[in-house]
Structure 1
Amino acid sequence: MRDTVLKRAAKTGRPVEIIYMDEKGKITQRRIRIRALREDLVEAYCFERKGIRRFKRSNILAAREPE
């Protein structure tokens, strides 16, 4: 499900909400617009941090399209 949402968001350019765990184990919710989707990495504009960020796909715990 998570990968399906990420692939669809990358294809359409629409924002997606993710739950992400960083390297220290801190969990955050982010709204992102995907720029590049790689096998192990997601490069995206993060609306909360107001900049380009890279997220490890394995650390994305959940993804959904915003309502």
Structure 2
Amino acid sequence: MLKVLERTVRYGDLLDMIYVDGKGQISKRRIKVLQIGEVSFRAYCHMRGTNRTFTVDNVLALVPVVRKERMVI
């Protein structure tokens, strides 16, 4: 999981994340990772519109966002 986070910091990619908070609530968020620590990471959360801190152990899934370009014929 940390390798995915490190790669997205390097390339500035967006991730879709499934996350469980301290109260047990599960949410899906689109994030851009800014910094990575040993047990947590800082990311811009598009759902909240602010920078947030997430605990690595609370991440259930990470999926890179694939952007497709449209071809005009």
TM-score, normalised to structure 2, is: 0.83
Higher relative contact order (CA 8 A, sep 6+): 1
Which residue pairs with 1:62 in the alignment? 61
C-alpha contact (below 8 Å) 2:13/2:65 kept by paired residues: no
**Displacement after TM superposition at 1:39 (Å):** 1.1
- Asked which structure has the greater CA Rg, the reply is 2
Q: Which runs of 5+ in 1 are unaligned?
A: none
**1:26 and 1:10 mapped to 2: Cα distance?**
26
1-structure distance, mates of 2:3, 2:28: 18
CA positional deviation for 1:66: 1.2
| Moved >4 Å (runs of 4+) | none
Task: Identify unmatched segments of 5+ residues in structure 2.
Answer: 67-73
Q: Give the percent of matched residue pairs that are identical in Structure 1 and Structure 2.
A: 35
Superposition TM-score, scaled by structure 1 size: 0.90
